[in-house]
Amino acid sequence: MSSDVLEKRYRLLLRAYPADYRRERADELIDTLIGDEPTTRRWPSLRQAASLIRGALRVHGGSTAPRPTAVLFWQGIHLGAIAVLALGALIGLDDIVEAFRFGGLSDPLTVLRNQGIHEIVLIAALVALVAGRARTAAALAVAAAVVPTAISTYLFANGLPQWWAPVVATPLILLGLRRPADVPPAPRANAVLVTTGILALHLIPAGGFRMVDPGARAAAAAMVIVGVAAFLWVATADQRLLIAVVPTLLLGTLHQLDNSGWTGELLRRPDALPSLVVAVLMAVVAVVSTQLRQRTRA
């Protein structure tokens, strides 16, 4: 009886794997995990659970694909385009809410002209890209940079990250149109999860290091360490994240190049440039290591 319960719980963990992989390998994995000997265990060990989850992340990242390097590169680019548009939309929404909190309700048309039109077009580009309409998404991304700027130069003149988002995303979307036919597109649900993880990374309060209160600084340091460790635990298994996170960090760097001082925006982080450099290096290492593993396997 306990073996049946244990098997059900293993199968629940195996749902983290893609459906095709489960159909081919689930029974084999269950036999390996449980073994032939009777057992009184009712729960998988923590180590086994972590290994299964990391294994699922590797499979989603293309480790079992015929060309894992191609999957890593092309899907990473696609996920990066989605993530940078989503981050730009999040920053824009945050700024619009702040604008309404500090006087925008008295002049909503100005907020719409300065920020709202850009936000609408940017979200439309994001929805189109997630829906698989890459050409439409590219056109909307160009429109998100050009049309709102022609109406109001507020975002461009201030060099805000949400203005840079479609500028960074457009070449990634256009490059993604050249994806080889034998490389599958990133599944939509998986793309949403990856994007959520990258957004969560950017919500870590790194600016808390500037707080005078030692308790607040210690709490910020703990959140940064835990958040970055969690992201790296996932990203070292599904290495597409190491590519996808690069363009999102580029927004912070571009914002820093356009401005000086600390104004408290979501991406005005003291680590924007160093983290971008580290992210680029990790992305290069991910591609090279995957290519070396592919050659060794061949």
pLDDT greater than 50 at residue 276: yes
CB-facing half-sphere around the CA of 21: CA atoms within 13 A: 19
CB 197 within 8 A of CB 241: yes
Higher pLDDT, 292 or 234: 234
- pLDDT class of 264 with cuts at 50, 70, 90: very low
pLDDT greater than 90 at residue 205: no
35: left (phi over 0), alpha (psi -120 to 50) or beta: left
152: left (phi over 0), alpha (psi -120 to 50) or beta: beta
Is residue 54 classed as helix, strand or coil in its secondary structure?
A: helix
**Residue 136 pLDDT:** 97
User: Cα separation of 20 and 24, whole Å?
Assistant: 6
Q: pLDDT by residue (tens digit) across 238-249?
A: 999 999 999 998
Token look-up 């599944």 returns 187
Q: Give the lowest-confidence range in 124-133, 212-221, 237-246.
A: 212-221
What one-character-per-residue DSSP string does 139-152 give? HHHHHHHHHHHHH-
Which of 59, 46, 44, 55 minimizes the C-alpha distance to 12? 44
Give me the residue spans of the domains in the chain: 70-297
Measured torsion, CA atoms of residues 129, 131, 132, 133, in degrees rounded to the nearest 10: -70
